[in-house]
Amino acid sequence: MDSRGFILLQLLVLWSLATTAFSLSPYYYQNICPQALPTIRKVVEAAVYKERRMGASLLRLHYHDCFVNGCDASLLLDPSPTIDSEKNSLANQNSARGFEVIDAIKAEVDQICGRPVVSCADILAVAARDSVVALGGPSWQVQLGRRDSTTASRAQADTDLPSPFLDLPALINSFKNHGLNERDLVALSGAHTIGFAQCFTFRNRIYNATNIDPAFAVERRATCPLTGGNTNLAPLDPTPVHFDTAYFNNLVKQMGLLISDQALFSGGSTDDLVNTYKLYPQVFWYDFAQSMIKMGNIKPLTGDQGQIRTNCRLVNYY
């Protein structure tokens, strides 16, 4: 082999090593801290056992993190003179919850690992998976190796987080902007098979929509008056602490709670997929897991980018 060929080979090897080093992998902590993932699972299971609703809250944190500048734990940063916290965005203020569980996970993981080696972004991703499993849903191999951001953007959160008032074309466009297709949209919306929503997010639908089951609207109005009661909760489907396909059953019956829920079954391009998930739970489970992996790959910080925070709420300054 001549010198030029040898140099080219060396460059290819170095490129391959660099690509491997900075790619996410489910085995990232296998040698760094093999007890990291079991520790996260233990804390999540305890939190969900204590309050079943917490499973949906932890899953939602991962969604709301990834949709704003990628899966980088920017959502967890508290307000400060230099941080315009995403916690204060329209979609998160007085709504996003579970931060204390993430803090507890971080403390236990750092203790078991002997130092801060597990990023807050990875904790969010693993906690989301473990929450779904704790509520009876599917599991998947979480890709790992993300690092934590040193910035946050409330303005970006207000722009990028999908509103519960969006119609189908707007939802499709919102997900497309993050590299997610219509199948991802419907599968990931299936996360609403667990959890609750506040009255102000569905009031307009239960009082003004025409594509709604009348008896369902009356039932929801009982706890969501025309004025007041903005934070009153209603379940997103009939089994809000069980990961199942009741959400899709509801959509077919015109009993989706949010405008953005019912938009998925409204005579549009996603109707067939809603019906498929309703009839074949195993298809939904598979697609949900694949879409969660895909969402978890949105613009991660890797390698020397970002940092591993010692406190998930604060940027490291040193």
Q: 200-212 in b/e burial notation, b at 16+ Cβ within 10 A?
A: ebbbebbeeeeeb
Closest alpha carbon to 100 in 28, 51, 66, 33: 51
The radius of gyration of the chain from alpha carbons, rounded to an integer in Å, stands at 21
Q: Which two tokens stand for residue 172?
A: 């499709």
Cβ atoms within 10 Å, residue 98: 22
CA gap 171, 176 in Å, rounded: 8
Q: Which residues contact 179 (CB under 8 A, 6 or more apart)?
A: 294, 298
Angle between helices 36-50 and 99-113 (to 10 degrees): 150
Residue 62 a catalytic site member: no
- Cα–Cα distances in Å, from 198 out to 145, 158, 190, 201, 237? 34, 18, 18, 6, 13
CA gap 292, 315 in Å, rounded: 26
Catalytic residue among 64, 178, 192, 242: 64
**What SS3 state is found at 79?**
coil
Closest alpha carbon to 73 in 27, 145, 118, 123: 123
Single-letter residue type at 163: S
Closest alpha carbon to 291 in 192, 183, 216: 183
Rounded to 5°, angle at Cα 149 from 143 and 116: 70
- Residues carrying an active site annotation: 64
